Chains A and B, each alone.
Chain A
């Protein structure tokens, strides 16, 4: 019996359904204090003085400031520019300045009012435009965290020969991950002095690295354990390092366990969001509607510190041309600093921003050229043998054509478009429209990222005769546990019920890299399969692998030689044909891409301009669906988040601070707002992915934005080149 390709039940499902799965706030630590954070009240300026009210009784409180940090005061990512606690200046209005802990959470919050911070405020740069004009130098010399140039062919030549040139500017805002479990972390020091951090996170080894630096501890003295995590979507990629540093610092000072669990407002206002972006497109087409040149300029708002912005920008830039083959391409992309909280990872990681622009621009081009949007795409999409903007030759597993055609077929595209037009000719109450988008999404880290990561994952055979997957890749709702078990089971030829997945705990699992970038299945799953092959080679080089627990136990008796388990570790090795040049930004940006298309059917109220998505159809080519039900869950869930991005989610910032930081005022879709979706999983196996699998978690986030925007245009004739598309925008554009 094989496991891969079957919709096995979610492994931790029963525990979650019974409410016994333990999230960080469900753990009780003896003698634990609750930590809270004193934050800046200005967006930019010097901190002159931090004082504690002498009239307030501080005796029961633990207070920590930058001066208490035993190691380096920083949150290490690509650079160390972000401090764990501000010292003499603040660069955004949620910057942490001091920490307080008390046995009662209420009292800890109460103490925050008894600090007095004196500032010398400075004029901030709050927008990308302010930043580029150097209204305030935040990141010397020019506020640009990263400047990328991708160049292919000769755009001047391409435009010179163009029959039509189409231009457009597109804007997208922040987006809040809005996982339902807020960020939370607990920290304590073991009797042997080991620092232990437990909490909600995507990347245990990121937290591990940060704590080593902040506390100047050797690796074995830091242990990081992921607890059941109530959603991440990128929002728990880098921020947990900050939170762990804070909780650990208070624990170090108080000599007691400390837990920090943010409330919703603090989580929304202080933690990372999707980068806002402004994208300009200029594209040339020949007489047949084939792209002759693309000139694209991308600016992303990184916030006050670098964090992961260059990497987000990189993915955004590489995807900026859309899934099209164009001989002459120039893409310039910059991430700039502003006096707002740092932006970070959110499902799609830069690509949803640039693909929104690319795809809506194609819709505009179709109109200019008088072509059906589907037809224009047919003439330009990437196919086997096509060359991308970075010069990557797509050799195998290229499913754009199949995804596009399947989506058009599922939605009955021509008939659907015609029915909308007919409806609009007769209905007085609503308009209807249908829009199309096509995307590709690179699986795994960009460029040489996977080489630098050099991830490791393992398989253990235990004395009890069970097989255990060892990886730091986390289950955050997407199905990691189940998928790993399926891959390990088939790699060994045993039932999946004999496979366990170890808790991501840095004391128990190797560093398989962060749980991001649609890499967990394709890259880490591949390592799991490779490690399993090592076990198999050791145990049954020629014969049949034992496939009952009794037989495995017998085999383990000699293999484990008295130890509780025997581990086999596999490390990432770059397939030889992948070549990437970081200097010129050219070559194989990703080992492979997933491909997806979507049709959105929308209805717009003619009196209130409210937009409702009636239905979404999507076909997504993902190499191989290891677990089709979980894959479909990822696609539907990711698409729903993007429906929010397209129509509802509107973060409002004033003076660099999010003012609608609550689930009441930051509106995400409810069940009635979320349309029924029809999903087709297409499979063109990728030879370096486990059982052919590519990444799939992020791609669903890329498609609905442009498909819905195109559909709204089809319905109303109103061109809104930004997200979210609000009824207010349509009202302003439509004649009364």
Chain B
């Protein structure tokens, strides 16, 4: 069996095991990229979202043989320990991550969304993120984070007030 060759985060990668091994397992166990998470194993939660040729996909539903010759992007491609990416910085600032398990997948879906140069629209962001389940945040701070990362940020809507009595 010849090795399956593809790109991960811009660098060549290859895999010589079972062609039906899930891309998720190849990333996590064979390539050591554990930033991509598993939440359900059936394409429902989106925690394993990576970009395949730029499009968000569930890595738990892709046999590695179908990644042959293609470009995979994972959360590890975003920021560095020295400098978070602009989107990651917005998530940190707006509280887009809580327990963090959905966060890598959420960031990858949001990355693809932001590349389409969308408009600042709460409902559109929610729709774009529909394939990524989050149980901690109630999504609002995630949506705020994505909106804040838009190229021309609109002034954030004031959602909360605080009074001291």
Whether A179 sits at the interface, judged by CB under 8 Å, is: yes
Whether B111 sits at the interface, judged by CB under 8 Å, is: no
Q: In the complex the two chains form, is B138's CB within 8 Å of A637's CB? A: yes
Q: In the complex the two chains form, is A633's CB within 8 Å of B95's CB? A: yes
Chain A residue numbers with a CB within 8 Å of B126 are: 670-672, 674
Give the residue name and chain of the B residue nearest to A17 (CB): B88
Q: In the complex the two chains form, is B101's CB within 8 Å of A629's CB? A: no
Whether A682 sits at the interface, judged by CB under 8 Å, is: yes
Complex CA–CA separation, A663 to B95 (angstroms): 25
Q: How far does the Cβ of B73 sit from chain A's closest Cβ, in whole Å?
A: 12
Of A22, A177, A630, A678, chain B has the most CB atoms within 10 Å of the CB of: A678
Q: In the complex the two chains form, is A683's CB within 8 Å of B40's CB? A: no
Q: In the complex the two chains form, is B137's CB within 8 Å of A636's CB? A: yes
Whether A111 sits at the interface, judged by CB under 8 Å, is: no
Q: How far does the Cβ of B21 sit from chain A's closest Cβ, in whole Å?
A: 11
Give the residue name and chain of the A residue nearest to B157 (CB): A676
Chain A residue numbers with a CB within 8 Å of B163 are: 406, 680-683
Complex CA–CA separation, A10 to B98 (angstroms): 8
Q: Which of A630-670 contact B (CB under 8 A)?
A: 630, 632-633, 636-641, 662-664, 668, 670
Q: In the complex the two chains form, is B76's CB within 8 Å of A19's CB? A: yes
Q: Which of A656-713 contact B (CB under 8 A)?
A: 662-664, 668, 670-672, 674, 676-684
User: Which of these, B42, B81, B99, B130, contacts A230 with CB under 8 Å?
Assistant: B99
Q: In the complex the two chains form, is A179's CB within 8 Å of B133's CB? A: no
User: Which of these, A10, A641, A684, contacts B97 with CB under 8 Å?
Assistant: A10
User: Which of these, A10, A672, A674, A677, contacts B159 with CB under 8 Å?
Assistant: A677
Q: In the complex the two chains form, is A231's CB within 8 Å of B139's CB? A: no
Give the residue name and chain of the B residue nearest to A229 (CB): B99
Q: In the complex the two chains form, is B165's CB within 8 Å of A181's CB? A: no
User: Which of these, A26, A229, A264, A677, contacts B41 with CB under 8 Å?
Assistant: A264
Q: In the complex the two chains form, is B140's CB within 8 Å of A180's CB? A: no
A18-B88, A637-B136, A640-B139 known; A23-B162 Cβ under 8 A: no
Q: How far does the Cβ of B122 sit from chain A's closest Cβ, in whole Å?
A: 7
Q: In the complex the two chains form, is B100's CB within 8 Å of A228's CB? A: yes
Q: In the complex the two chains form, is B138's CB within 8 Å of A636's CB? A: yes
Q: How far does the Cβ of A1 sit from chain B's closest Cβ, in whole Å?
A: 19
Give the residue name and chain of the B residue nearest to A638 (CB): B138
Chain A residue numbers with a CB within 8 Å of B98 are: 10, 231, 477-479, 633, 637
B side interface size, CB within 8 A = 63
Give the residue name and chain of the B residue nearest to A9 (CB): B92
Whether B63 sits at the interface, judged by CB under 8 Å, is: no
Whether A564 sits at the interface, judged by CB under 8 Å, is: no
Chain A residue numbers with a CB within 8 Å of B136 are: 231, 477-478, 633, 637
Chain B residue numbers with a CB within 8 Å of A662 are: 40, 42, 44
Q: In the complex the two chains form, is A670's CB within 8 Å of B100's CB? A: no
Whether A116 sits at the interface, judged by CB under 8 Å, is: no
Looking at the complex, which of B30-38, B64-72, B148-156 is the stretch in contact with chain A? B30-38
Q: In the complex the two chains form, is B140's CB within 8 Å of A477's CB? A: no
Chain B residue numbers with a CB within 8 Å of A672 are: 123, 126-127, 130
Q: How far does the Cβ of A231 sit from chain B's closest Cβ, in whole Å?
A: 4
Whether A218 sits at the interface, judged by CB under 8 Å, is: no
Whether A285 sits at the interface, judged by CB under 8 Å, is: no
Whether A16 sits at the interface, judged by CB under 8 Å, is: yes
Q: In the complex the two chains form, is B101's CB within 8 Å of A679's CB? A: no
Chain A residue numbers with a CB within 8 Å of B141 are: 629, 632-633, 636
Of B33, B39, B47, B139, chain A has the most CB atoms within 10 Å of the CB of: B139
Complex CA–CA separation, A101 to B4 (angstroms): 30
Whether B142 sits at the interface, judged by CB under 8 Å, is: yes
Chain A residue numbers with a CB within 8 Å of B41 are: 263-264
| Residue interface mask B88-124, A partner, CB < 8 A = 1 | 1001110101111111100100000000000000110
Chain B residue numbers with a CB within 8 Å of A640 are: 137-139
Whether A196 sits at the interface, judged by CB under 8 Å, is: no
Chain B residue numbers with a CB within 8 Å of A628 are: 160, 162
Q: In the complex the two chains form, is B142's CB within 8 Å of A671's CB? A: yes
User: Which of these, B44, B95, B138, contacts A629 with CB under 8 Å?
Assistant: B95
Chain B residue numbers with a CB within 8 Å of A20 are: 35, 81
A264-B41, A674-B139 known; A14-B99 Cβ under 8 A: no
Chain B residue numbers with a CB within 8 Å of A582 are: none
Q: In the complex the two chains form, is A180's CB within 8 Å of B88's CB? A: no
Give the residue name and chain of the A residue nearest to B160 (CB): A679
Complex CA–CA separation, A679 to B160 (angstroms): 5
Complex CA–CA separation, A231 to B39 (angstroms): 11
Complex CA–CA separation, A275 to B82 (angstroms): 46
Whether B3 sits at the interface, judged by CB under 8 Å, is: no
Chain B residue numbers with a CB within 8 Å of A679 are: 159-160
Give the residue name and chain of the A residue nearest to B38 (CB): A25
Chain B residue numbers with a CB within 8 Å of A233 are: 135
Complex CA–CA separation, A640 to B76 (angstroms): 29
Q: How far does the Cβ of A520 sit from chain B's closest Cβ, in whole Å?
A: 14
Q: How far does the Cβ of A36 sit from chain B's closest Cβ, in whole Å?
A: 15
Whether A242 sits at the interface, judged by CB under 8 Å, is: no
Q: In the complex the two chains form, is B159's CB within 8 Å of A180's CB? A: no
Whether A573 sits at the interface, judged by CB under 8 Å, is: no
Whether B84 sits at the interface, judged by CB under 8 Å, is: yes
Chain A residue numbers with a CB within 8 Å of B134 are: 180, 671
User: Which of these, B39, B107, B161, contacts A180 with CB under 8 Å?
Assistant: B39
Whether A117 sits at the interface, judged by CB under 8 Å, is: no
Chain B residue numbers with a CB within 8 Å of A182 are: 39
Q: In the complex the two chains form, is B138's CB within 8 Å of A639's CB? A: yes
Q: In the complex the two chains form, is B97's CB within 8 Å of A664's CB? A: no
Q: In the complex the two chains form, is A264's CB within 8 Å of B39's CB? A: yes
Chain A residue numbers with a CB within 8 Å of B164 are: 683
Q: In the complex the two chains form, is B138's CB within 8 Å of A180's CB? A: no
A9-B93, A18-B78, A19-B104 known; A676-B140 Cβ under 8 A: yes
Chain A residue numbers with a CB within 8 Å of B39 are: 180-182, 264, 663
Give the residue name and chain of the B residue nearest to A625 (CB): B162
Chain B residue numbers with a CB within 8 Å of A13 are: 91-92, 97, 100
Q: In the complex the two chains form, is A178's CB within 8 Å of B135's CB? A: yes
Complex CA–CA separation, A367 to B44 (angstroms): 42
Chain A residue numbers with a CB within 8 Å of B104 are: 19
Complex CA–CA separation, A25 to B101 (angstroms): 11
Give the residue name and chain of the A residue nearest to B92 (CB): A13
A180-B47, A678-B159 known; A16-B100 Cβ under 8 A: yes
8 more A-B residue pairs beyond the given contacts A14-B81, A632-B95, with a C-beta to C-beta distance below 8 A = A17-B92, A18-B81, A633-B141, A637-B138, A671-B132, A672-B126, A680-B163, A683-B162
9 A-B residue contacts at CB 8 Å? A16-B99, A16-B100, A180-B101, A182-B39, A399-B165, A671-B130, A676-B122, A681-B160, A681-B163
Report the 5 A-B pairs with minimum CB-CB distance, sorted nearest first.
A19-B35, A477-B99, A230-B101, A16-B100, A640-B138
